[in-house]
Structure 1
Amino acid sequence: MLEEVDFNKEAKNIESFKRYLETMGLSGQATAPRVYKHCSSRRVLTMERLYGVPLTDLDSISALVSSPENSLITALNVWFGSLLSCESFHADVHAGNLWLLRDGRIGFLDFGIVGRISPKTWAAMEVFLASIATEEYESMASALIQMGATNRDVDAKAFARDLEKMFSSMQELDTEIVVATARGPNSDRTAVAANVVVDERQMNALFLDLVRVSESYGLKFPREFALLMKQLLYFDRYTRLLAPNLNMLQDQRISVVSNRRMNRYKDSFN
């Protein structure tokens, strides 16, 4: 919490992200506000103003780009790439912090909350995500065992059976898209805004169930695991809204897991 209100640290997080974009050749696809150092301090952060709309504003997004789905894919690829190629990753990608800008780029705002993940943890996380998509619960169990610190042997097959029971409850999550319309004050044009409403209690219960089941096998996860899961839930909401037919974890246009790395790490877990 203290880091979140230290604007010197937030400024460094922003600069690190902008270096990542430049190094990876992504500055034409995404950006973050420029920091004006001479007007900033530990208690004051002065930044460039960006103009855009949240990823939940369907009407405005459609006016800016022809394919909201492609914009979402860009946001996903930039964020996933930052997990290992940047010093830290943005760990609070709610709609107020993730915009489609007027120039078509994705704007990442507010770097007060960031996470850092080791290559080893991310390798296990990749397998975990791929296993969710393919419903391979033994691979999922192995990945979670690899991530979680434990000093005892874990019955991977029993763990996998418990995970399968738990993840079947995901199908019961209540989600809906709420569309609101409003007529502009100076025109006859009707604006349309939409948002994905998810029962937060169910989402929290699902995550707590995952932690509870894992802890029953003696596993303790790093803080980064919770941060990553939270961001993936945000992106899942954007996907339901902007690209309902997109499978975030399996679409070949999204660089989550390379098949070569996936197979290598799956072999190491088995």
Structure 2
Amino acid sequence: MGRSKNSHFNRYSQIANIVARHGLGYFVGILGLERFVPFHQGLLGHSRRTEPYTQPEHIRMAFEELGPTFIKLGQILSTRADLLTPEYQAEFAKLQDQALPVLTNAMEDILAEELGKPINAVFATFDPTPIAAASIGQVYTATLHDGTEVVVKVRRPGIVEQVEEDLEILQNLAVSASYRWELAKQYDVIGLAQEFAQTLRSELDYLREGRNAERFAKNFAHNPNVHIPRIFWESTTSRVLTMERIRGIKVSDLSALNAAGINRKTLAEQIAQLNLQMVFEDGFFHADPHPGNFFIEPNGRIGLIDFGMVGNLDANTQEHLAAILLAVISQDANRLVDAFLELGFAQQTVDRTLLRRDLQYLVSHYYGQPLGEIAIGKILNEMLDVVRRHHLQLPSNLGLFFKAGIINEGVVAHLDPSVSVTALLMPYVEKLLLRQYSPTLWAQRLSEASLYATQWGVELPRKLKYIVGELERGNLRINTQLTNGEPIVRRFERFTNRIVLSIITAALINSLAVLMLIYHPANWEKWAGYFFTVGFIAASTFGIYLIWSTLRSKH
């Protein structure tokens, strides 16, 4: 790690400088002294304003200055409601993945290099002005030779090298934080850094995004209300993505939808059904279903774009999610605790009694409430409050699910507040429960259990023989770990330190007395007073500190 730090010295320095300029907001915010600090209002380079910057704003601005990798990190963290409070989520959600466009010639060179032929040989027309310029790539409009309108995403030059450098630095910082900060160890920041690196690398690969789009197209092939853009593979590589252009009204533009005669209630139900199918039937869902990714075509069909961030849910996770909702409805806190723990929320020892108490308080809010009146987004947010309070951690796929669920309900409510996502969800839940208790599934589970039992029956004698052999050779050791022993260790360290300090103080007093009585070198009288004064002050300071620390500890 030392060699890595040296090789990235300039980038480390840049990060340190930016964090230092915005780090003041963190400590001042904790102490509640914002109004006394002029730097907190824009004196260190960011825009001046009379209202003090908050701690989340400082961190968001630092991410923006640090560039693409950290902007993506902030965007992904905005989805992790299990790690961040709503204030941080809302602020990080403001991170806009925008950048100044790269010169047209450079992007055209990349296109020609990737496609292996001149641009005019691939496209009949190509508009060199990008319609969007993000930190990772730029988006252009073009027309194929058969007249099909397409959009072309081109990855920026040098972005992979920059991202890889930042990812290595983040991994190093995560390792350092785990040694120095107990909370970082609890939340497994090393694992989070690795997870983020995997997510970001997948976004850099446009082939993966193209495959995601095709998988969605396959899942909705029989749904005439959903339009997934076609991918043109002959002009798609890891750095270039060419897909069908979708035109329509943004789902957030209510006046335009009304003018086009679109039934907003029907549209809201269709969007809710679309997302529910992704999660509870396909197990493959769009993890960023914000309004900008939905376009409503003139015939009312829903066009969906941007497939860089997706989530996966296996059958077991789908069933546990259904169990969570049923536990809320049936006021069963014990079942809710079981579902939480089985889903892997706990990364460390959890006080089950306290967790059950908080979840019981949560479900009691919905006692006797009709199903159609329960807001799924509110349930998810309250669950996330409990997750943060108990330092639990969502698996990455569930973090994306929670975020997508909350956004989906917001889009539906914006179109028509009378549409209940929870009511539309129940048929999926019932279907999952029927599948969970179906004879076919139980026969399959029994078959698997029989196979495992047979394997264990065959392997157990050999394993027992190995264990007994290790025990006879004295190689078998049992490791024990003291839980919650850190306060005891700290107290013992303080006790030991006091003993050592007491010995030093006593030795200092004794040696000072011996020197003053016995040792009288030449010119001793000239320096004796100074020597005695210094020794007396040191001994007195140590002694007073020992008395004060002992009385202060009340032990």
Same fold flag (TM > 0.5): yes
Alignment of 1:48-63 (within 5 A): 48-63=244-259
The CA distance in 1 between the partners of 2:283 and 2:429, in whole Å, is 20
Contact map agreement 1:52 1:99 (CA 8 A) in 2: yes
Q: Secondary structure at the match of 1:257?
A: helix
Shift of 1:235: 1.4
**8 Å Cα contact 1:29/1:106 also seen in 2:** yes
* Aligned counterpart in structure 1 of residue 240 of structure 2, from 44, 62, 81: 44
Q: Tell me whether 1:261 sits opposite 2:433 in the alignment.
A: yes
- 1:84 positional shift: 5.0
Which structure has the higher relative contact order (CA within 8 Å, separation 6+)?
A: 1
Aligned length: 228
Residue type of the alignment partner of 2:401: L
Distance in 2 (CA, whole Å) between partners of 1:255 and 1:120 is 18
For the 8 Å contact 2:246–2:295, the answer to whether it is kept is no
The reply on whether 1:89 has 2:262 as its aligned counterpart is: no
Aligned to 1:79: 275
Conserved? CA contact 2:249–2:296, under 8 Å: yes
**Map of 2:217 onto structure 1:** 18
In the other structure, the counterpart of 1:209 is: 385
Find out whether 1:102 has 2:311 as its counterpart: no
| 1:234 matches 2:407 | yes
Q: Cα distance 1:134–1:230, how it changes in 2: closer, same or farther (>3 A)?
A: farther
CA distance in 2, matches of 1:260, 1:43: 40
Map of 2:202 onto structure 1:
3
One-letter amino acid of the structure 1 residue matched with residue 413 of structure 2: R
Cα shift readout 1:71-115 (whole Å, capped 9, x = no counterpart): 121122122212254463111101111232222111211000011
Assess if the C-alpha contact under 8 Å between 2:227 and 2:303 holds in 1: yes
Aligned residues of 1:79 and 1:89 also touching (Cα < 8 A): yes
Q: Which of the pair has more CA radius of gyration?
A: 2
TM-aligned CA distance change 1:262 to 1:54, over 3 Å: farther
TM-score, normalising length: structure 2: 0.37
Q: Could you say what secondary structure the match of 2:355 adopts?
A: helix
The 2-side partners of 1:119 and 1:247 are apart by 25
For 1:14, the aligned partner's letter is A
Question: What does 1:188-207 align with in structure 2 at a 5 Å threshold?
Answer: none
Richer in helix (by share): 2
Kept in 2, the 8 Å contact 1:138–1:156? The answer is no
Shift of 1:132: 4.9
Q: C-alpha distance in 1, partners of 2:283/2:434?
A: 23
Name the CA distance, whole Å, in 2 between partners of 1:258 and 1:241.
27
Matches within 5 A, 1:131-150: 131-132=327-328, 137-148=333-344, 150=346
Q: Structure 1 residues 234, 162: closer, same or farther in 2, change over 3 A?
A: same
Gaps of 5+ in 1: 170-201, 266-270
CA contact (8 A) 1:138 1:157 kept: no
Confirm or deny: 8 A CA contact 1:99 1:108 kept in the other structure. Answer: yes
**Tell me, what secondary structure is at the counterpart of 1:2?**
helix
SS of the aligned residue for 2:421 comes to coil
Q: What is the TM-score with the length of structure 1 in the denominator?
A: 0.71
